[in-house]
């Protein structure tokens, strides 16, 4: 924003998928520079990944299991869901085994619970796995990108803020 004058700091959106979705979740819970966000097939709670994904954690480096569990929660965006204060769209495949759909459910529920009037939307894609945006059925890929584009058009349009 400081380097390029053509960037409108009042209309910044953020999106990412997979680890980029985790980073999107982290950014919107720890910064205030974005006006709308779309998280895609993301990690929201590391405790879900510990037991239900190929992205498992390891407690071996901790003195006890409780410390491990606390550390996993501390790096989980869902813990900070009350800090999300911008329009927030969650896109997720229902058959995602890398980032199980429970991540999306927990994050959506936490944001809606702490901010009932905030524009928050959860869109789940049936029969879609973690590769939806790259190799999924074309109809689902188009629907996924349409949801994202429509969200940003709706919440980042000029003169709205």
Q: From the candidates 18, 42, 49, 53, which is the catalytic residue?
A: 18
Q: From the candidates 46, 92, 130, 144, which is the catalytic residue?
A: 130
Element (H, E) at 90: strand 88-93
Q: With b meaning 16 or more CB within 10 Å and e meaning fewer, what string describes 35-69?
A: bbbbbbbbbbbbebbbeebeeebeeeeeeeeeebb
Place of tokens 């510990």: 50
- 18 catalytic residue (yes or no): yes
- Cα torsion 50, 116, 121, 80 to 10°: value is -30
Report the distance separating Cα 128 and Cα 147, nearest Å. 15
The catalytic site residues sit at 18, 130
């Amino acid at each position: 924003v400081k380097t390029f004058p053509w960037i409108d700091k009042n209309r910044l959106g953020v999106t990412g998928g997979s680890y980029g979705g985790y980073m999107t979740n982290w950014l919107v819970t720890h910064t205030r520079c974005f006006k709308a966000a779309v998280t895609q097939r993301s990690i929201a709670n590391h405790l879900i990944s510990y037991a239900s994904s190929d992205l498992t954690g390891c407690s071996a480096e901790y003195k006890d299991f409780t410390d491990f569990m606390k550390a996993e929660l501390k790096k989980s965006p869902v813990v900070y869901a009350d800090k999300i204060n911008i329009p927030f769209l969650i896109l997720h495949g229902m058959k995602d085994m890398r980032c199980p759909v429970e991540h999306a459910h927990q994050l959506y529920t936490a944001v809606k619970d702490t901010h009932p009037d905030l524009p928050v939307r959860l869109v789940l894609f049936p029969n879609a796995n973690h590769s939806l945006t790259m190799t999924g059925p074309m109809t689902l890929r188009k629907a996924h990108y349409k949801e994202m584009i429509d969200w940003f058009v709706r919440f980042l349009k000029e003169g709205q803020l």
